[in-house]
Chains A and B, each alone.
Chain A
């Protein structure tokens, strides 16, 4: 595909006059690519800077000269085998990066303060014969470190606690803030009255541990989201826009406005919802509706974004903004479904909702009990603070995020990207799996169904020939050997096929009549399939092209059934093909001809029976169902709207990641529960001791740290066992080669 798109219009101009543009890159396999890309771009004239971000797979460019030729950059990248697309950093992502930096800054300050204060405090605890002046000096220095540090590093908790209190709620940040503030206030009082102990170390350590947990939680979500956004950018196609003067220009989809006239050529997807102005074609709308039979459209018909144009060029008018389109209806359903799911509460939230009031009551009860027993107000308060500090939810706060980080890292390596932090917990709870058919159980693009019956060398030759054509059927053949070299001198005859001379013999691929194979092909013709003929001298083949089951669909269904999960197939396609698929995969429960609202309705009926559903789908029509299910997965070749609605996206051609994900989620869930149990156990032991006034700050600090450590070590077990599937290769990489 030779198409140079001028993305430079999307660059942002900084105050210094320099233009910057960020590109999402595909095709980077190892660190050596960094140097290859940067070295190649160094020689592009007028390009001031090019820097690869390897972790996010992005390339940022900077230039000032107006004469800078952007085409050179895309051309060089393409020649090296990388695909690049402009990446518009969403404002959300910018915010996330800022939050991440702020947390890291707070963590650094809290870490610095806690280490230094701990050194001083330890000297006080262990130096039994220390004179009062030295001790006061140490406490004074501790105060000078701890107070400003807590004021800075405690902000994430203080603001959240304040917001919760204003809304008359209690969250986990309230006891944290109270514990920190009370222990600081008490320590200042103790220092001023020359008392033997102060608790600056407890306060700062508490902050450091909690900030660590928050940072881990945040970093995990940020990383997967960054990569997912990349993939979305890479997949976002460009549209061929017809300007008023008849000139064609390629623009990113985001640049399309209602009223624009767009050209959709055969082999391309319809870029936006609209109305056909002229031309006729048959569209494969399986991604939109699930229906696999093609629909013929002509001037005046509505077309929907995502449909594949099979033959014939269409000129269409974009009408995305007009309400009542398919997308509008789907978005309405989507909103409703998402709102229903947002009520789900995370495991950690559920625990901390109970935990926060309990800690306050325990601390208050301690103070009252000590007062009643005749202790002074000061002693009663000190003990109450000890309770607040020792029941610090450090381990509790680490329990869930630490597991999430380890498990999502392992899944990331196995080719599964999590969209939401609580997806793992919801995945672990499922008992029913609902599949979409088209594009999920079957491959999204048509494939050669009888590939195995054809001699491999012949098929490879056909694929090499097919690489010279953009016809959808030819692309299906080309997909069999995605990396095969094209044939020199291949020539396409419009509406008939491709022809080339191989080893002195003419090779033809295309319409049966074009290859003179009408009789052979008539025999091979079946319902639901297209026939493409191939002839090389005397060797001939009739290739049956249709959507085929994904290679490991049957194994995956069996593996799911073996885990005691109920498997259901819901499809928008007609009943006959759905039945055939269900029978081939031994799925007992299936329904066809379902509209998006029907799917949501069915899921709701299942939910009313108390089922927790995992929905797996790829089409635009699946998006509401994906959002309505308890948890959802999409293959990476799914439509953007489906990916956005799904909790996780898996890479590769197969379905094996589904089983991997469920197993990993179940293991992670077990570990989270263990961790919560461990931290609650720790509190159950430590809190009574603190209430009895038996804990010295040193023991409290050691106990607190070791409980956090145990929880973290336990969480690391989630990272070990998932391996990358050998067959996994991002689908788009293959497409790029095709």
Chain B
């Protein structure tokens, strides 16, 4: 029983962190262009930038 007192809040905390991450990404506009984001993953632009 006592272990539940730690584990249940811990589980909820982790879940809440995930929720916060989602809300943050939503407010940052990451769901505005889902099709483009899928394609951007294939781009190597960012590599070029670090090399130059």
Contacts and interface: CB of A to CB of B under 8 A. Distances in A.
B4 A35 contact: no
A212 to B, nearest CB: 15
A45 B26 CA distance: 32
B8 interface: yes
B4 A101 contact: no
Contact of B4 (A34, A38, A104, A137): A137
A682 B45 CA distance: 53
Contacts of A112: 15-16, 18-19
B22 to A, nearest CB: 5
Interface residues of B, number: 26
Nearest to A101: B26
A2 interface: no
Interface stretch (A51-59, A318-326, A561-569): A51-59
Contacts of A97: 32
A731 interface: no
Interface string A28-58: 0001101100110000000000001111100
A211 B20 CA distance: 18
A261 to B, nearest CB: 41
Contact of B8 (A101, A104, A105, A141): A141
Contacts of A56: 32-33
A403 to B, nearest CB: 22
A34 B36 CA distance: 8
B34 interface: yes
A571 B42 CA distance: 52
B16 to A, nearest CB: 7
A43 B34 CA distance: 26
B32 to A, nearest CB: 6
B43 interface: yes
Given A35-B45, A112-B18, A112-B19, A52 B36 contact: yes
Contact of A31 (B1, B11, B34, B39): B39
A108 B23 contact: yes
A400 interface: no
A38 B5 CA distance: 53
Interface string A92-111: 00000100010011001100
Interface string B7-48: 010011001101100110011000111111011101101000
Nearest to B5: A137
A134 B12 CA distance: 17
Contacts of B18: 112
Nearest to A102: B26
A120 B11 CA distance: 11
B4 A54 contact: no
A35 B23 CA distance: 28
Contacts of B43: 34-35
Interface of A is mostly: helix
A499 B7 CA distance: 86
B34 A134 contact: no
Contacts of B36: 31, 34, 52-55
Nearest to B49: A42
A389 B16 CA distance: 26
B12 A133 contact: no
B12 A53 contact: no
Contacts of A52: 36
A32 B42 CA distance: 10
A625 interface: no
A280 interface: no
B4 to A, nearest CB: 7
A540 interface: no
A566 to B, nearest CB: 41
Contacts of B34: 55
Contacts of A38: 45
Nearest to B23: A105
A145 interface: yes
Nearest to A120: B8
Contacts of A35: 43, 45
A53 B4 contact: no
B26 A145 contact: no
Contact of A145 (B4, B12, B35, B39): B12
Given A112-B15, A112-B19, A116-B12, A133 B26 contact: no
A134 B4 contact: yes
B26 A104 contact: yes
B26 to A, nearest CB: 6
B51 to A, nearest CB: 15
B33 A55 contact: yes
Nearest to B44: A35
Contacts of B27: 101
B19 A109 contact: yes
Contacts of B19: 108-109, 112
B33 A133 contact: no
A579 B9 CA distance: 79
Contacts of A55: 32-36
Interface string A404-419: 0000000000000000
Contacts of A32: 39
Given A35-B45, A134-B4, A53 B32 contact: yes
A517 B6 CA distance: 96
A120 B18 CA distance: 19
A424 B17 CA distance: 41
Given A53-B33, A108-B19, A115-B15, 12 more contacts: A31-B42, A35-B43, A55-B33, A56-B33, A97-B32, A101-B26, A108-B23, A108-B26, A112-B16, A116-B12, A116-B15, A137-B5
30 contacts: A31-B36, A31-B39, A32-B39, A34-B43, A35-B43, A35-B45, A38-B45, A39-B45, A53-B32, A54-B33, A54-B36, A55-B34, A56-B32, A104-B26, A105-B23, A105-B26, A108-B19, A108-B23, A108-B26, A109-B19, A112-B15, A112-B18, A112-B19, A115-B15, A116-B11, A116-B12, A116-B15, A137-B4, A137-B5, A141-B12
The 5 closest A-B pairs by CB, nearest first: A31-B39, A54-B36, A53-B33, A55-B35, A112-B19
